[in-house]
Chain A
Amino acid sequence: MALKLLSKLRNQNLQITRNRNLHRLLDAARFFSEQPVSNLSTPDDSKFIIKNKQQTTTSSLKQHELAKFAAISDTWWDSEGPFKPLHNMNPTRLAFIRSTLCRHFSKDPNCARPFEGLKIVDVGCGGGILSEPLARMGATVTGVDAVEKNINVARIHADLDPETSTIEYCCTTAEKLVEEQRKFDAVIALEVIEHVAAPAEFCKSLAALAYPGGATVISTINRSMRAYATAIVAAEYLLHWLPKGTHQWSSFLTPEELVLILQRASINVKEMAGFVYSPLTGRWSLSDDISVNFIAYGTKDGQ
């Protein structure tokens, strides 16, 4: 059970712990967030919501945390370091987001800051790897992650650049944002839904966060045999890109399922694309092949 939950901490698990020091630090960190979870977890509670004891004492612990994660944030953001796969994939995900959102909101794609004036929420932001580029592209970004230490890392890193220091990071969940009645022009949740126990509920929350006519972008892994071979066997066991147990094949969604649950949440999927990794160049690119990693863009019904 605890292991299963461990896999739900999305970004934090995407690390390769080759570096000894880092290994120790990350294990320590994991312990922090895991412990309360395993105490609190009941079958019903194993949703995306991860209750964190520390959360209640945020104000008093914040400075400690800031100091502690100032050191780690460098590794999170070291594009040659343990998060290399994620950094590698990032430009490709952003290319899709740029392309679809520019068309959705009729923005000029040849401009350096096309998202100027758009409010975007990044659900499951992790260390802010997606939030920062979105902010550089002009968006008013809110980054949300259930794991407080990710938020701290993200906040420290974003403060380094005046362009990204405007990002609002919150240690909260999509469901809580809905309770707070927050609304955004675009809702983005990348590589999150496969770690969520109730995807349909999660999608409803995402839909509730978007203004009517707003955009939603979701990426995940297909429940295909190829995905099993590449995303689990190759990435976790052969290449050690991801820690073993990061993903569970059974919790993946097929594109059809994703489209259906989004439809029920009143989001119409307009476009889909696949991510394809080229071992020759070591780069990801967008393609029509959605058999492993895929990303979907949809619009919320109604005005």
Chain B
Amino acid sequence: MNRVIARKVVPANNQIFKLSSKKFFSNEAAKASTAAASSQSNQESDGNLSFTGNVQPYDIAIVGGGMVGMALACSLATTPLTKHLSVAIIDSSPALANKPCIKREDPPDPRVSTVTPASISFFKDTGAWQYVQQHRHAYFDKMQVWDYTGLGYTKYDARDVDKEVLGCVVENKVLHSSLLSQIEDTDFQKKIFHSRLTSMSLNPSSSSIVVDSTASTEASYARGRLAKLELSDGNSLYAKLVVGSDGGKSQVRELAGFKTTGWKYSQNAVICTVEHSVENYCAWQRFLPAGPIALLPIGDKFSNIVWTMNPEESSDFKSMKEDDFVKAVNHALDYGYGSHPKSSLPGSAGMFSWLRGNVTIFANESFEIPPKVVKLASERMAFPLSLMHANEYASKRVVLIGDAAHTVHPLAGQGVNLGFGDAFALSRIIAEGIAVGMDIGEVSLLKKYEAERKLANMTMMAILDGFQKAYSLDFGPLNILRAAALHGAHFISPLKRSIISEWRNQFRVNIRLYLPWELLANLTLYNGENSKSILIPIPARSIWQPYRPLRFQLYFQSQHHEDMYRNHL
């Protein structure tokens, strides 16, 4: 049998020999050059390290130093297993060049994010939350969602889900500078390149192995199959792992050849900051015929408006006089397009009474009107809405996080929370890889991240897209259904509370059965947590932590068995 195999393979074998004799010299050359390279690089490190055009290897290159990119850097810097990594951050934005000085008195920026409790706890873990708290931020513990038809509304309270708050609205620049401040507090080895990525080669061709001795340092990196990045200012660098956090039009995604799926919505969002006469503590969202309008508190009597509408409308609203715009906003949040929903409809109260049992309506569950807007406090910005999802997040030495991997409808301000979720998941998985001595650019490691985040992100995208579609139709029966859904959610909530707490106690897992219409209000706030509960298969004990040791003892059924074993050996 063996001989048969042997005979068969003889020709193939000869071929290999021919090939190998050809390759012989080149390999030796490469070998020699590596040796030269290492001695050369030693000399360099003794001397001046930072001369221009120097090619340096980094552990991780983060392309795009926005909120999500910096969240990754911050998480790496504050995790014991990853804090030794050398990181290059490539971003041409001025926010990284000279640290902006944020004053509390400044009017709030219209670019804000609703940070979910899950993201808040990530920030607290890294220590960056202390810096957020030094600036303007607004927690909110209530939320009201209603419909322009006046048929349904639902209110959420943090107490419904045993939470202190439902979320926190923070300006993007505050989040960004807080992460940066936290990184600077650590002795993390990072270098910021104020430049753009122009090209990326992931698999330096085998021909590049054969090089003359002058380019020998590079040769050894190329041999190590590191990713090579070239920047617009002429610098180039090598990295074991390239992280694309460069937003929806990601250069890294394009250069790595990841395909995307997505579409544009024929909707634009208008965002701005407004001022009230009283402070706002609640998040408000009303569905209008053209799309939802959201009013989010940002503290100090300011609120943020995110108003989704048709592109034509959006240019009108953007350019109209300030007073007219304020009137339009008040109109849209109050009686515009339809009447207020009533706090208790006699007919449907009867209909839902069997669900309510003996629970009485709390006073704060009645419908409220949002505080009046008195003044516009910032410029108005409009941007088109789209949905995009990368078919892959990871390949060897490249990984995408945040908007580079997925752009969502900003219906509930979820984009950045998904991004933070990505950043912290990636940082954790890199730490797990380092714990077991893996190469951090290894595809099997990065695919773990992809599997974990893809499910969470796609679920959220599907829900948001579904809502966008459900509410983009202004059709009589559908309106009534939607309204009934909202109304029903409001009435069912006492029941829901008990279900949630019971399930939690029993399984210690955050599984929640959401009625479809409840999802929107909930996902606005609990994205991070939802994604965790979707990912139950994550092992509770991280792999590098000590497992429960099995103390081994020899048990034999009888003396006979023991003798048998001993004789057997």
- A residues sitting closer than 8 Å to B (CB atoms) are 2-3, 6, 24-25, 27-28, 30-32, 34-35, 38, 63-68, 70-71, 79-80, 87-88, 90-92, 94-96, 98-99, 103, 109-112, 132-137, 159-162, 200, 255-257, 259-261, 264, 269-273, 280-281, 285-288, 290, 296
Contact = CB atoms under 8 A, between A and B. Distances in A.
B552 A99 contact: no
Contacts of A134: 437
Q: What are the 10 A-B residue pairs with the smallest beta carbon separation, nearest first?
A: A133-B437, A2-B2, A67-B23, A94-B436, A136-B437, A68-B20, A79-B444, A28-B13, A160-B224, A110-B80
A256 B13 contact: no
Contact of A38 (B2, B439, B565): B2
B546 interface: yes
B369 interface: no
Nearest to A69: B20
Interface centre among B19, B24, B84 (most CB of A within 10 A): B24
Contacts of A3: 1-2
B552 A112 contact: no
Contacts of A257: 565, 568-569
B17 interface: yes
Contacts of A99: 544-547
B261 interface: no
Contacts of B34: 159
Nearest to A114: B435
B565 A79 contact: no
Contacts of B439: 132, 136, 161
A25 B16 contact: yes
Contact of B550 (A71, A264, A290): A290
B437 A200 contact: no
B359 interface: no
Contacts of B443: 79-80
B60 to A, nearest CB: 14
A260 B556 CA distance: 12
B15 to A, nearest CB: 8
B550 A68 contact: no
* SS of B interface (majority): helix
Interface stretch (B3-11, B157-165, B459-467, B507-515): B3-11
A15 to B, nearest CB: 15
A24 B8 CA distance: 9
Given A68-B19, A109-B546, 5 more contacts: A109-B545, A162-B220, A259-B554, A271-B552, A288-B548
A88 B436 CA distance: 12
A110 B81 contact: yes
A286 B22 CA distance: 46
Given A27-B9, A135-B437, A260 B565 contact: yes
Given A135-B437, A160-B224, A31 B5 contact: yes
Given A64-B20, A111-B80, A259-B554, A95 B444 contact: no
Contacts of B13: 28, 31-32
Most B C-beta atoms less than 10 A away, residue of A3, A25, A87, A95: A95
18 contacts: A3-B2, A24-B9, A25-B12, A63-B27, A64-B24, A67-B19, A68-B17, A98-B435, A112-B82, A136-B434, A160-B225, A162-B38, A255-B552, A257-B568, A259-B554, A270-B552, A272-B552, A273-B549
Q: Most chain-A CB neighbours within 10 Å: which of B2, B19, B434? A: B2
A25 B26 CA distance: 21
Contacts of B5: 27, 30-31, 34
B537 A281 contact: yes
B436 A260 contact: no
B368 interface: no
A137 B548 contact: no
A94 to B, nearest CB: 4
Nearest to B19: A68
A2 B444 contact: no
Contact of A200 (B19, B80, B82, B569): B569
B552 A259 contact: yes
B23 A264 contact: no
A296 B436 contact: no
Nearest to A285: B539
Interface of B: 1-3, 5-6, 8-10, 12-13, 16-17, 19-24, 26-28, 31, 34, 38, 80-82, 84, 220, 223-225, 432-439, 442-444, 537, 539, 543-552, 554, 556, 565-566, 568-569
Contacts, number: 161
B82 to A, nearest CB: 7
B434 A95 contact: no
Given A35-B6, A161-B224, A272-B552, A260 B569 contact: yes
Nearest to A278: B537
B28 A31 contact: no
A3 B1 CA distance: 8
A59 to B, nearest CB: 14
Contact of B84 (A35, A112, A255, A260): A112
Contacts of B565: 256-257, 260
A64 B17 contact: yes
Contacts of B8: 27
Given A31-B10, A99-B544, A112-B84, A67 B2 contact: no
Nearest to A130: B437
Nearest to B22: A67
A171 to B, nearest CB: 18
A289 to B, nearest CB: 9
A259 B553 CA distance: 9
Contacts of B21: 64, 67
A34 B6 contact: yes
Contacts of A132: 437, 439
A200 B2 CA distance: 29
B470 to A, nearest CB: 33
Contacts of A64: 17, 20-21, 24
Nearest to A65: B20
Given A3-B1, A64-B17, A136-B437, A88 B444 contact: yes
Contacts of B547: 95-96, 99, 273, 286-287
B442 to A, nearest CB: 6
Given A34-B6, A68-B16, A133 B438 contact: yes
Nearest to B83: A112
Contacts of A261: 569
A280 B535 CA distance: 13
Contact of A31 (B9, B19, B23, B82): B9
A233 to B, nearest CB: 21
Nearest to A94: B436
B12 A24 contact: yes
A296 B442 contact: no
Given A273-B547, A281-B537, A70 B80 contact: no
A67 B6 contact: no
Contacts of B543: 91-92, 95, 285-286
A80 B24 contact: no
A228 to B, nearest CB: 19
B24 to A, nearest CB: 5
A258 to B, nearest CB: 10
A140 to B, nearest CB: 14
Given A67-B20, A110-B80, A34 B2 contact: yes
B550 A272 contact: yes
B19 to A, nearest CB: 7
A67 B17 CA distance: 9
B4 to A, nearest CB: 10
B207 to A, nearest CB: 13
A282 to B, nearest CB: 9
Contact of B444 (A6, A87, A136, A256): A87
